[in-house]
């Protein structure tokens, strides 16, 4: 199973970006999917998660600026980010719990996509 993240880039403060992360490989179904980020010199932190049923959870720092969504048929999770701030600059990773069959599953991480917000 592989997770391929995309959509990062350089944007000015106040701008928007939409990240995508597609899972591929041997997939029976996918449970939770989520986005995490790691800024230089800091620990990785949770940004948002979404269950297979669409229940979402956000970190406090999101403050209503980001929206996580998923397309189950495409095995893809999205993160729409608005009103970006310089402190949102980080490497954004996607994570998913993938069931490869009815009896086994694991967490998988994507390689990360870099988001840089200039002031």
Alpha helices, DSSP H only, in 1-119?
Answer: none
Which residue has 């980010």 as its token pair?
81
pLDDT, position 46: 98
pLDDT, position 107: 97
Q: Is 88 helix (H, G, I), strand (E, B) or coil?
A: helix
Q: To the nearest 10°, the Cα dihedral for 61, 68, 42, 90?
A: -110
Q: What is the pLDDT of residues 53-104, one digit of tens each?
A: 999 999 999 999 999 999 999 999 999 999 999 999 999 999 999 999 988 9
b/e string for 68-78 if b means 16 or more Cβ within 10 A? bebeeeebbbb
In sequence order, the β-bridge partners of residue 117 are 11
Distances (CA, A) of 46 to 43, 53, 74: 10, 19, 23
Q: What is the pLDDT of residues 25-58, one digit of tens each?
A: 999 999 999 999 999 999 999 999 999 999 999 9
Q: Which two tokens stand for residue 115?
A: 């988001």
Q: What is the pLDDT of residues 99-115, one digit of tens each?
A: 999 889 999 999 999 99
């Amino acid at each position: 199973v592989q997770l391929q993240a995309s959509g990062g880039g350089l944007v000015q403060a106040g701008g928007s970006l939409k990240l995508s992360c597609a899972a591929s490989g041997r997939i029976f179904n996918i449970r939770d999917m989520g986005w995490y980020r790691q800024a230089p010199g800091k620990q990785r932190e949770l940004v948002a998660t979404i269950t297979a049923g669409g229940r979402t959870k956000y970190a406090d720092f999101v403050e209503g600026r980001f929206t996580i969504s998923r397309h189950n048929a495409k095995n893809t999770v999205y993160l729409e980010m608005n009103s970006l701030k310089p402190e949102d600059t980080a490497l954004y990773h996607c994570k998913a719990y993938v069931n490869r069959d009815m009896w086994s599953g694991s967490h998988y991480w994507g390689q990360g996509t870099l988001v840089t917000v200039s002031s």
